Amino acid sequence: MLDFLAESSDDRARLCGRGHSRREFLQIGVLSALGLSLPQYLQADQAGLVKPGHGSKSCIMIFNLGGPSHIDLWDMKPDAPSEIRGPFKPIRTKTDAFEISELLPLHARIADKFSLVRSCHHDGAAVHDAGWQMMQTGRRFTGGIHTPHAGSVVSYRMGRKSDLPPFVVLPQLMGRGGGNLPNGQAGGFLGKAHDPFALMADPSQADFRVPDLLPPDQIGATRLDRRRKMRDIVDQTVKEFEASEDARLLDENFHAAFRLMTSETARAAFDLSKEPTAVRDRYGRNRFGQCCLLARRLVENGVRFVTINTFLTVFDEITWDIHGSKPFTSIEGMKDIVCPMYDQAYSALIEDLDQRGLLPDTLVANLSEFGRTPKVNPAGGRDHWPQCFSAYFAGGGVKGGRVVGASDPIGGFPAERPVGPGDIVATVFHSLGLDSSSHLPGPGGRPFPLTDLGTEPIRELFS
């Protein structure tokens, strides 16, 4: 957020003749907007924060927070006993390869565009945040090592290709999940320089704006006053820093940050008012629907990786977490509340990407932390089940209309081609052109493999 405060001529240490001082950048709060302390920022610069952009591939990761019921949606068991199969029926789709639930009729219409993986599993605890970290990073956090989100790895390895950040989370970072564990939506050991840009706003609201990208004349007096009060605090630090050798290292990074804060292109990418009413209606006038539309706009304008959280937490709203008893919903509640919104937005996103020619270069990965128990519980819901669940993929080189793997007759365990979190993340990297056998600079500077030994992309999706 910008703070254009007057300063004397001797304060200004110009950056490459462009008229912006390091003092100005510290005063306007660029470092805090990026979530960085000065030492972290210097370290990120030396590690290669801003790399030349390359490649046209992007990824939209839809994370189905709460854990959808695979048995009621993508891996139905119509011949199983009623307490297993649940209340819903499978329907035909546009492909002969699979049927899906009657709750997803718009998915059925575009089933030739996506492929299912019905044999996902992990050995983490059956709590939300354990699954969140594993499915988004490919690993369980152990030994104090926080593995970076797949989008953070993309940020580090591929860099930005426009004024926009390389990695964005919509509408905001996940809340708590009950296990008091890190959720995996961060840069981890790659540092805060590769944390996502989190929107922190609901794009379905009429007054939606992106606060950190507002032009100077829209920044209120209260926020300016806060900046003035902070000025005395940073002045001494700035003077000492500007006299140091490290100052010269920040030039390119300051320019990148300033471009983000002042870029008309960046503001335009986030401006949903530029979309026709019919397009906004097609996605659905709700938070998830408008996040999907915004994700399309972002990848269209150069963002490499967008994660959409379908929900923000499992505690304060109805989600995929269908335990049945209050405050959770039942299987029937999923039918009435969650699925219509989700079905509409996803199908709109895939059709829109396809019609605009963006789908071949944009992987859309639909993931979750786990599935649900094969047996319906006494409250009419299903509980947490990491032993078997489904994921699905479209675009980014994925061949649509096929199924990889299979579960057993009750959807309890993989029966064919088991797929773990590391395989899922390796698949994302493969689509983006990253070698999953390569390494990152890990804790202590030691080489850290992009994915664990034994994990492989799900190549059947691409061939």
Q: In this structure, what are the phi and psi dihedrals at residue 341, rounded to the nearest 5 degrees?
A: -65, -45
In this prediction, residue 263 carries a pLDDT of 83
Region 253-264: mean pLDDT is 66
pLDDT digits 0-9 by tens, 105-140: 999 999 999 999 999 999 999 999 999 999 999 999
For residues 75 and 405, the answer to whether their CB atoms sit within 8 Å is no
Q: What value does the mean pLDDT take over residues 154-175? A: 94
Q: Is the pLDDT of residue 5 over 50?
A: no
Q: According to the model, what pLDDT value does residue 24 have?
A: 47
The reported pLDDT for the residue numbered 255 is 56
Q: What 3 state SS string does 52-103 have?
A: CCCCCCEEEEEECCCCCCHHHHCCCCCCCCHHHHCCCCEECCCCCCCCEECC
Mean pLDDT (the chain) is 85
- Long-range pairs, 311-318, Cβ under 8 A, ≥24: 311/65, 311/66, 312/65, 312/171, 312/172, 312/174, 312/175, 313/65, 313/174, 313/175, 313/176, 313/177, 314/65, 314/66, 314/128, 314/177, 314/178, 315/175, 315/176, 315/178, 316/175
With contact defined as beta carbons under 8 Å apart, do 50 and 428 qualify? no
Structure tokens at 99: 């049927």
Cβ atoms 288, 171 nearer than 8 A: no
172 backbone dihedrals φ, ψ, rounded to 5°: -165, 175
- CATH tag, 54-210+270-461: 3.40.720.10
Whether omega for the bond prior to residue 171 falls within 30 degrees of 0, making it cis, is: yes
- Predicted confidence at residue 50, as pLDDT, reads 34
pLDDT at 79 over 90: yes
Instruction: Tell me the one-letter amino acid at 175.
Output: G
- What's the number of CA atoms in the CB half-sphere (13 Å) around residue 301? 21
Q: How confident is the model at residue 239 (pLDDT cuts 50, 70, 90)?
A: low
Please indicate whether residue 4 or residue 19 has the higher confidence score (pLDDT): 19
Domain segments of the chain: what residues?
Answer: 1-33+215-264, 54-210+270-461
Query: Could you read off the pLDDT of 316-368 as tens digits, one per residue?
Result: 889 999 999 999 999 998 999 999 999 999 999 999 999 999 999 999 999 99
Handedness of CA 104, 105, 107, 112 (dihedral sign): positive
More confident residue, 5 or 195: 195
